[in-house]
Amino acid sequence: MDHHGAPGRHINIPIFIPHMGCPNTCVFCDQRRISGTCDPVAASNIRETIEKYLSTSSSEDYLEIAFFGGSFTGIPRNQMMAYLDVAKEYLEKGVVSSIRLSTRPDYIDHEVLDILERYGVKIIELGVQSMDEDVLARSKRGHTGEDVVKAVQLIRDFGFEYGIQIMPGLPGDTLEKTLETANKVVELAPGQVRIYPAIVLKGTEMEKMYQEGSYTPLALEEAVRWCAVMVPMFREAGIRIIRIGLHYSELLEDAVVAGPFHPAFGEMVDARVILNRIMDVIEEDGLMSCSGIEIHTWKGALSKTLGHKRVNIKALKEKYGYTDIKVREEDLLSGQIRVFALYGGDGS
């Protein structure tokens, strides 16, 4: 979300519906802790949250009510409709522009989509996590990859926009399985995707598995590497990546036992994607043996190109033995990188 005061911001009004709709307890899940509560949400609380966001927004902003947490379409129908009644009221007043929700693929059917259509829901996000059957089974997801395909087909038939959430690094996962999941997600053609590397949270079955030694979460470096391979796959397919890594909060930090949790995880992945691209260009153009290089990146991408604490520059010097690396922003397309040989050079 942009900073307060910028015109025409896209603002999500997050309404957390913790775990109420979900009969499963997946090994990684502690929705109560992620959403900060375990009590059912009253319709009046939803109204309060919406009003709070409306009071700090301008008429130019695009406001979207977003039902997160748990499995929205799995909660009792009367409760789900009471929540949607409140959201629809603001939609009809014209003060919010859309409604989105997240749910499980096996909680999508004609009946529920009929209801969501009546209430003006625009975007449905599916918690897919993996398309690998072994990973899904070991994570006790309670649904299959086929359930995902069927849910997407139904959602598409109804004309909803849809997004997909995936969670690399679950029990039994490998880079190969994660890339296969990414390929299958590309085939499902969602408009957007969220990538949440698996984190071990207190009070989950995955914590027990971790303590017993039957599960090892991804190391931070490994998670960055996996995500940096997936990101270009989604971007090239025109799929918008709306989040990489769980949103940092102190509440969540206290709950993390192990795994690749970092407040700047998304930025680390972005920087790695750029580093990979720079190395591709160096190899393609045969610039491995010059004494130095000049990298041209697109406007606004200088810090991502350097990497946090100049990590990308250090990596390039280490790999290729360069003594001098210069980086400049140029009028290039977003994502475009050019690399030129430097001769001589004054060190960097």
Q: Taking the domains of the chain in order of start, what are their residue ranges?
A: 10-262, 271-342
Give the Cα separation of 81 and 73 in Å (integer): 10
What mean pLDDT do residues 64-71 have? 87
Return the ∠ at Cα 155 (arms to 44 and 31), rounded to 5°: 45
pLDDT at 30: 63
DSSP letter at 260? S
pLDDT of residue 17: 83
Range from 52-66, 102-116, 280-294 carrying the lowest mean pLDDT:
52-66
Q: Does domain 10-262 have CATH number 3.20.20.70?
A: yes
Kindly indicate the confidence band of residue 4, based on its pLDDT and cuts at 50, 70 and 90.
very low
pLDDT for 287 equals: 95
pLDDT at 347: 40
The answer, yes or no, to whether residue 5 has pLDDT greater than 50, is no
Three-class secondary structure of residue 286 per DSSP: coil
CA dist., res. 343 & res. 190, Å (int): 46
Q: Is the pLDDT of residue 3 over 50?
A: no
Rounded average pLDDT over 241-265? 87
Q: Give the model confidence (pLDDT) of 79-110 as tens digits.
A: 999 999 999 999 999 999 999 999 999 999 99
The pLDDT-based confidence of 346 (bands split at 50, 70, 90) is: very low
